[in-house]
Amino acid sequence: MTRIYAAVSNKGGAGKTTLVTLLAGEYALRGDRVLLIDADGRLNLSGWWRLCQSKNNVPENISLIVAAAGRTIATEIARLRSLFDLIIIDAPGIDGTVQETIIGCSELVLSPIQPGIKEIEAAGQAAANVCAINDRRGSHILHLNVRTRITIPGRNLEAYRYIRPFVVGLRQAGYETDLLDTELFERNVYREIQNGLGTLQMQELSEPIRKARQEVLNLVEEIEARQRAAIRGDAA
């Protein structure tokens, strides 16, 4: 059955597109047929894809379409889902009907959080939006937060230390959200692949690439473990 994930944050520059490309590359490496949907008006994901095409770095097992309207997104998912194992949507950074449609179509919503108050607040809003849709529909869409662009010095920032208790507070308030243990560090390679180099998994295995690959592998395995636990919870 086709899985549908969405990257959602109302804060521009939070790291949604980078997160989407990293996940797509890892799942494609595993043999999954991955469809990326660029629903963000800034079209950063499409820009990366065009650069990959121009440099003959189009990744295997990955396709991309642009769909900016909620009705179009729903139509394209219905039309294409049988052709893919995984659909990942890069959602617009604006709370509205399109974002609501994307969340409603998804089984998992991921929000990147950098150690900054605005990014943390944006992730909280995403969790609230997921909760509201779950309440209205009786669904169990899972919301997970991913710490991104982390640095060793940044771990001493007050905003970084605030992330975990903030998410704990959301859970105590009844939101179906959680914080992943895996962190994405501030790595040059994550920026470089956005210049049309394909996916992380296509890069020559230098030591920095090896570390980044392990980081993304850990992230995917943790996501899948959380998904399995959520499914078991629903079944129970």
Residue ranges of domains in the chain, CATH in brackets: 3-235 (3.40.50.300)
**Residue 62 DSSP SS3:** strand
Q: In what order do the strands lie in the sheet with 142-150?
A: 62-66, 34-38, 86-90, 3-7, 108-113, 142-150, 177-185
Tokens at 6, concatenated? 């969405």
The pLDDT, as a whole number, for residue 236 is: 43
Q: Which of 186, 171, 179 is nearest to 222 (CA)?
A: 179
Q: Kindly report the CA angle at 77 between 196 and 40, in degrees rounded to 5?
A: 45
Which residue intervals of the chain are DSSP H helices? 16-29, 44-54, 70-80, 97-105, 117-137, 158-172, 188-192, 207-235
32, exposed or middle or buried, with CB in 10 Å at 0-12, 13-18, 19+? middle
Beta bridge partners of 34: 62, 86
Per-residue b or e along 67-103, where b marks 16 or more CB atoms closer than 10 Å to that residue's CB? beebebbeebbeeebeebbbbbbbbbbebeebbbbbb
pTM here is: 0.95
pLDDT, one tens digit for every residue, the chain (236 residues): 899 999 999 887 789 999 999 999 999 999 999 999 999 999 999 999 999 999 999 999 999 999 988 889 999 999 999 999 999 999 998 778 899 999 999 999 999 999 999 999 999 999 999 999 999 999 999 999 999 999 999 999 999 999 999 999 999 999 989 999 999 999 999 999 999 999 999 999 999 999 999 999 999 999 999 988 887 776 54
| Those residues with Cβ within 8 angstroms of residue 58's Cβ, 6 or more apart along the chain or in another chain | 49, 52, 198
**Residue 130 DSSP SS3:** helix
